[in-house]
Structure 1
Amino acid sequence: MPRIPYPDPATLSDLKREVLSGTFGRVLNISRMAMHAPDAFWAAQRALGRAAIFDIGIGQRQRELIILRVAYLSRSDYEIYHHESIAATLGIRDAEMKALEIGYFSNFAAAESCLCEFVSEVVTNVSPSDRTLASMQEHFSLPAIFEVLIIACTYMMLARIAAVSGPDIDDEAVTAWNPRQPQPHRG
């Protein structure tokens, strides 16, 4: 049961109705819950979220490593549920997800290990160490580093929205981000 009730659909603005009309052919509970936000914040979050999903320069695998590391550190069951499913679709193995969960990155390629350490330090310490930031600069361009940072911060925000509001876990996890790709049922 949610900690905060979902908003009454009859009270929603036209903007929110338009935004929710096509989300994976259904409305995710986190999206329903976030409808409490004022329209300007809602629109900004939508644009940021879409950019983090569809307009990234880093790879989809790296995006999901970022999101899962944030979700594990934030203990966000809601985000973990959806992003483990997406990660599996992208070929991220269960052992890799477990390593992300416990913070053991040595079996990842050097760039991914550095990425995961950077995200860990941003989530837990706000700022990465000079050493970690220097390592990121060896592996990633400055625009890519900012992309990683923005994706991590976006999902930190979503994890906290979920923690405070407590949306129900959706019946079916998202398995892919391509809006034209059908969402298979998980058994």
Structure 2
Amino acid sequence: MPWFRPEELDEEQRRCYDELLGGPRDRSVLTDAEGRLEGAFNARLLDPPVGTAIQQLGAALRYGSRIGDRQRELVILTVAVAERCDYEWHGHVPGARRAGLSEQQLTALRAGAPVPGLSDDDRIACEVAAELLRDNDLCDISYARAAAALGLATLFDIVSLVGHYRHTALALRVWRVPLRAGDAAVFGGSHPAVEERA
């Protein structure tokens, strides 16, 4: 798909672009040196009203939900592993490190192994995400355990976070979004080079 330059955007696309860059996300990772949107954000310019709604949902889940930073990054990285999404993995490992996840924990997560040293709540959040990704549902036992430990509002946010990042992984695949310069494939997929984008 086209990799839109800011000067090529129509009025509706420009509103979507400006809202994204004016939001809470780290602007330095949203655009390349030419101001083009990175990752799935570029594709969202194809339909600005829908793209804006999707990016607003993502911002609400990342910056306004009841999920703490550590749990949020654990859940997102669990999605990245299940979807074999290198772009999501690279995009969220720095946040996971800032939230206190160790290299040993990240290595276990990437391998799909039990993550050592998690609190009970963090472990339950990971288990909920993994079950949702594997079964597209939660069994009654998992639901009851998560609701009791985390509360229904946090469980709602985790379900929403899994759905949003699964959607993002799908968009990254369909639009063949290349990894950023310097990022290598983690899950063995092939990615177009950055310079191959139109």
TM-score bin, normalised by smaller chain:
0.7 to 0.9
The Cα shift of 1:170 comes to 2.5
The Cα shift of 1:98 comes to 2.1
Distance 1:166 1:35 in 2: 15
SS in 2 for 1:127: coil
Q: 1:17 to 1:82 in 2, by over 3 A?
A: closer
1:2-49 superposed Cα distances (whole Å, 9 cap, x missing partner): xx332464143232232344451442411123322x122112112101
1:6 corresponds to 2:3: yes
- Do 1:29 and 1:168's aligned partners in 2 also have CA atoms closer than 8 Å? no
Partner of 1:74: 83
1:116-127 equivalences under 5 Å are 116-127=126-137
Partner of 2:159: 149
Q: What TM-score, normalized to structure 1? A: 0.81
SS in 1 for 2:42: helix
Distance 1:119 1:89 in 2: 21
Letter paired with 2:141: R
Identical-pair percentage = 23
Distance 1:146 1:41 in 2: 22
1:6-85 equivalences under 5 Å are 6-7=3-4, 9=6, 10-12=8-10, 13=12, 14-22=14-22, 24-25=27-28, 26-27=30-31, 28-30=37-39, 31-36=41-46, 38-85=47-94
Partner of 1:86: 95
Q: Greater relative contact order: 1 or 2 (C-alpha under 8 angstroms, separation 6 or more)?
A: 1
Please, which runs of 5 or more residues in structure 2 have no aligned partner? 32-36, 184-198
Alignment coverage as a number of residue pairs: 169
- Do 2:20 and 2:55's aligned partners in 1 also have CA atoms closer than 8 Å? no
Q: 1:70 to 1:161 in 2, by over 3 A?
A: same
Distance 1:125 1:103 in 2: 18
Q: What TM-score, normalized to structure 2? A: 0.77
Letter paired with 1:29: E
The Cα shift of 1:109 comes to 2.1
